[in-house]
Chain A
Amino acid sequence: MTCDDARDLLEAYHDGELGAEDCARVEAHLQGCAACARELASLRALSDRVRGLGRQPVPDGLATRITSLVAQSAPVPTNQRPWARMAASHLAAALLGAGAVALVASATLRDPAPMNDLVTAHVRGLALEDFGSVRSGNPHAIKPWFAGKLAFSPRVSDLADDGFPLLSGRVDYVAGKPAAALIYGRRQHRITVFIAPAGSTAAAVNGQLQGYNVESWQADGLRYEAVSDLNRDELTNFAALLRTR
């Protein structure tokens, strides 16, 4: 075996990927070739140094958060992949647009329907990002867009300075009533804030559903409901910031 042949096989040899026959040939060559033996030693030294780094440690709380998200989530049968659910929500949105569906609002407190509606509307909005919405980082462009589309005037604030930039807005239907939907970003997460006149939806629906967190509050006769897959602490922080605006 020549040095060139040996070098071609040396990394695979080092990685334990060679068959017995090739292993024996490489080892025979290494016996008599100091240069190739040095090359192998150098490969081993490099691997040892990289391995010495170990893994980067998992942040505190991540394991707990994932365990609890998994506990709340049911495995989806393999024929119901996210795209299938997205298609279903496209259909639902199309029907909504045609006014063919009347969502039944539930006024009872512990009924999960309103939270379901919020999460569904949030996911639907993300699936249809450019559908019937206004996209701008500028609240002064979004606010007038709602005029004439809603019977109330939602307060539109940007929280970009606090790391929650306003991305877009749209009109949605939650629990059968029109609501302004504002989309904020947080890293790659999206937060939808639904705003509707107070009293048009059921009372407090703070909580968690299918891995989504919901925070709600009322101010100036309007009801605010924030929905996101963002963790609870950051969503609470976001809600607190928005309330002070």
Chain B
Amino acid sequence: MGRREEFERKVLPLLPAAYNLARWITRHPQDAEDAVQDALLRAFRAFDGFHGDDPKPWLLMIVRNACRTAFRRGERWRNVIPLDLAFRGPAAASEADNSPPPDSRLDAPRIHAAIERLPDGLRETLILREIEELSYTEIATVTEVPIGTVMSRLSRARARLREALDENAAPTREAER
């Protein structure tokens, strides 16, 4: 089997996982799409160097890095904007923030919004564990931190989420920090 066929069989089916992670990291549909496209091409070019059994953590690490590279490039580019903004007025600055307000009557939008408000490190760790069902070791690989950090991030993410979703809940030890 050729490398391309192998890539298409082993890696392309992971696109839903890749897009989901990118979407949660970037919190922007078009940025996520761009980052995933970039990541899949990078993954294909680097596929000869991949020899493991499960390409999922490997691919998600590339996706995460693509999102961060895109963000850094975006940052550098945003440095150029202010002159332009001076032209178009401050209204242009808030263009990016067009996420719909959460609907308090429904559970899913509330949870979604609460997760979106988590800090980057807690958010990606929670998604990798709960949605992608990665093990602590795999999450450590993807996010390039020690396992202890994965555990404390996961714990803090859950504590914050419980706090945000249920004001009446008894505060956990983590939430008291």
Query: Which positions in A face B, CB cutoff 8 Å?
Result: 7, 11-12, 15, 17, 39, 42-43, 46-47, 49-59, 62-63, 65-67, 69-71, 73, 75-78, 81-82, 135-138, 160-161, 165, 167, 185, 187-189, 211, 229
Q: Please name all residues of chain B whose beta carbon is closer than 8 Å to the beta carbon of A135 when the two chains form the complex.
A: 80
Query: Which positions in B face A, CB cutoff 8 Å?
Result: 3-4, 7-8, 12, 15-17, 19-20, 23-24, 29-31, 33-34, 36-38, 40-41, 44-49, 70, 73-74, 77, 80-81, 83-84, 88, 107-108, 111-112, 115, 126, 129-131, 135-136, 151, 154-155, 158, 161-162, 165, 169, 172-173
Q: Is the CB of B16 within 8 A of A55?
A: yes
Residue in chain A with minimal CB distance to B73: A188
Q: Please name all residues of chain A whose beta carbon is closer than 8 Å to the beta carbon of B33 when the two chains form the complex.
A: 59, 62
Q: Is the CB of B4 within 8 A of A188?
A: no
Q: Is the CB of A53 within 8 A of B169?
A: no
Q: Given A62-B37, A70-B4, are A137 and B115 also a contact pair (CB < 8 Å)?
A: no
Q: Is the CB of A167 within 8 A of B77?
A: yes
User: Helix, strand, loop or mixed for chain B's interface?
Assistant: helix
- List 20 additional A-B contacts (Cβ < 8 Å) besides A50-B115, A66-B36: A11-B154, A17-B136, A46-B165, A50-B130, A53-B112, A55-B20, A56-B20, A58-B15, A58-B16, A66-B40, A69-B37, A69-B40, A70-B44, A75-B44, A77-B48, A78-B48, A136-B83, A137-B80, A161-B88, A167-B77
Complex: A161 Cα to B38 Cα, angstroms: 26
Q: Most chain-B Cβ atoms within 10 A of its Cβ — which of A43, A53, A54, A167? A: A53
A67 to chain B, nearest CB (A): 7
Q: Is the CB of B3 within 8 A of A75?
A: yes
B117 to chain A, nearest CB (A): 14
Q: Given A50-B126, A58-B19, A188-B34, are A70 and B40 also a contact pair (CB < 8 Å)?
A: yes
Q: Given A50-B126, A50-B131, A56-B23, are A70 and B161 also a contact pair (CB < 8 Å)?
A: no
